[in-house]
Amino acid sequence: MNEFVTKLPRNYKIQKPGKQFRQSELSGLYANCELHHVFQGKNRKWSDYYGLVIWITEEEHRLIHTGKKPDWVDGLHRAYQSKYELYCTREQFRQNFGRSYL
Ligand SMILES: [Zn+2]
């Protein structure tokens, strides 16, 4: 976990590692996996900075980004906010992400 900051460097580059054959951190399945940034949109850079990312199968990833969001997406938000709060406070989470999921 990185230190709490409210501003990232202007040239901060979000990681785009592509596909890897590995175990999904969501389902435990071995498959081609992609890195998903748990908090999306303008919060994507914060997901990246704080390591709030998860390797999931291509299929699981497609479920999140196309069509209806599965129920477990909210669970991911809560679980990864909890990870963040191991190192930083809820108020700091709000400053980074604009709201609390807990
Ligand atoms: Zn994604």
> What is the C-alpha to C-alpha distance for residues 15 and 35, in angstroms, rounded to an integer?
9
**H or E segment and range at residue 20:** strand 20-23
Q: Which residues pair with 54 in a beta bridge?
A: 36
Spacing, Cα 58 to ligand 1 middle (Å): 10
pTM metric for this prediction: 0.92
Q: What is the mean pLDDT of residues 16-42?
A: 96
Q: What is the pLDDT of residues 31-85, one digit of tens each?
A: 999 999 999 999 999 999 999 999 999 999 999 998 788 889 999 999 999 999 9
> What is the C-alpha to C-alpha distance for residues 57 and 78, in angstroms, rounded to an integer?
20
Spacing, Cα 90 to ligand 1 middle (Å): 24
Spacing, Cα 54 to ligand 1 middle (Å): 9
Q: What is the mean pLDDT of residues 14-32?
A: 95
Output the six-digit token pair for 101. Answer: 């999921």
Does the structure show a pLDDT above 90 at 1? no
Q: Which residues surround ligand 1, an ion (CB under 5 A)?
A: 36
Q: What is the pLDDT of residue 3?
A: 87
Spacing, Cα 20 to ligand 1 middle (Å): 14
